[in-house]
Amino acid sequence: MTHPMNKDNDFDWKTFEQQAIARLLKGEELTGEDGILTPLIQRLPGLIAHRHAP
């Protein structure tokens, strides 16, 4: 399975969405170490900091 964070440290939203849907359908957990939303949650502080940068 491809990780939604690519080699350039950019978040691949399309890959994330496809993987999240597939994992939800399999009944996997949303949060936790290997949770479906974990990559997104880990990415949030950087997104927030970037939006609020001068």
Q: Which residues on adjacent β-strands are paired with residue 11?
A: 5
* pLDDT average, residue stretch 41-52: 79
Asked if residues 16 and 5 have their Cβ atoms less than 8 Å apart, the reply is no
Give the tokens for residue 51: 């939006």
Q: Looking up tokens 């440290």, which residue turns up?
A: 9
Q: Is the pTM of this model over 0.85?
A: no
Taking 80 as the threshold, does the pLDDT of residue 28 lie above it?
yes
Q: If DSSP codes are grouped into helix, strand and coil, which group holds residue 42?
A: helix
Can you give the residue ranges of every domain in the chain?
A: 13-51
**pLDDT value of residue 35:** 93
